Every structure is written in structure tokens, then in C-alpha cells.
Structure 1
């Protein structure tokens, strides 16, 4: 019984940390690679930059849905209005 309680406590402590992790790098384009294991490499600033990496493999360049552009110099001014 104690072991089960320890496992549940440990899992409860680790879950919030795992949920807060960002799954993808903050680049606007990802290379989605298909195969036995599907994964995304989000390291590209444009589709054109990604295309040579996708050439010859089972891969596709896609827009990163989690991309967040950096705040511009007018971001603070827009928030005050």
C-alpha cells in the first residue's frame, strides 16, 4: 500500500512539469518526417529553406501551429491602448 501511495505522489509531482514543456522549437516551419516513428523537426524559417531537407525522404514541410512570433517594438504601446 505504501509503494502505491509513493508512486501516485511521484506521478503527481512530475505531471505538471511535463505538461509545461514546449513540444516544438519556436520556428515557423517544421519538417514532418514519416516512417516507423513520426516526428517533427521545427528548425526552419521558411518552407523554401525546409524543402531541401525533405527531398528524398518521406517528409513534408508544414507550418508550425505552435509558433509564436517575437514581440515587436510596438507591443508595449499596443497593450496600453
Structure 2
């Protein structure tokens, strides 16, 4: 029984270690992300640069590159407005 349990644990561990993991690629601080593509057949990869405040700003940066600009799906658009603070009069 001990060998079977050990075998199951090793198998499960190997299966979980082989599964691809992905970190969050979108920074929720900015509303626009540039998706950059590099190296179609020579390696490279792709990544997101979420440091833009507007689509025109992102498009100006992406001009001439293999990149597209998209709205950040993790940017909190529907936040309630901040509550007004009332100052006391003296």
C-alpha cells in the first residue's frame, strides 16, 4: 500500500509540474495595453506592455512595430466615484 501511495504522489507531482503556468500579463493600473509580437519563427515570443493612458498614446508607440493596442480587460472601469469630503468650518 505504501508503494502505491508513493507512486500516486510522484505521478501527481510530475503532472502538476509539467502543466504550464501563466502569470497575470495585464497590469490593472493603466487602461490600455500594447500587445507586442516578436520572432515568428526564430524564437522570441510576445508580451503585453500595460503602461498607456490612451489608445492614441499606445498607437503612437506601436507605430512601426509588430504590435497592437487594446483596452485592458483588468482595468477597473466601473469603480464608484470617490465620496466627497466635507471640511468642517471653524
Q: Note if 1:55 corresponds to 2:63.
A: yes
Give 1 or 2: higher helix fraction. 1
Superposed CA deviations along residues 24-75 of structure 1, whole A, max 9, x for unmatched, are: 101211101122312211111101221222012111111112221354215x
The alignment's C-alpha RMSD in Å is 3.0
Q: Which has the larger radius of gyration?
A: 2
Aligned to 1:23: 25
TM, length-normalised to structure 1 = 0.58
Q: Note if 1:39 corresponds to 2:47.
A: yes
Aligned to 1:77: none
In the aligned structure 1, how far is the partner of 2:34 from the partner of 2:50?
Answer: 6
CA contact (8 A) 2:35 2:69 kept: yes
TM, length-normalised to structure 2 = 0.54
- CA 1:4–1:67: 2 relative to 1, 3 Å: same
Aligned to 1:8: 12
Query: Which structure 1 segments of 5+ residues have no match?
Result: 12-17, 75-81
Residue correspondences, number = 68
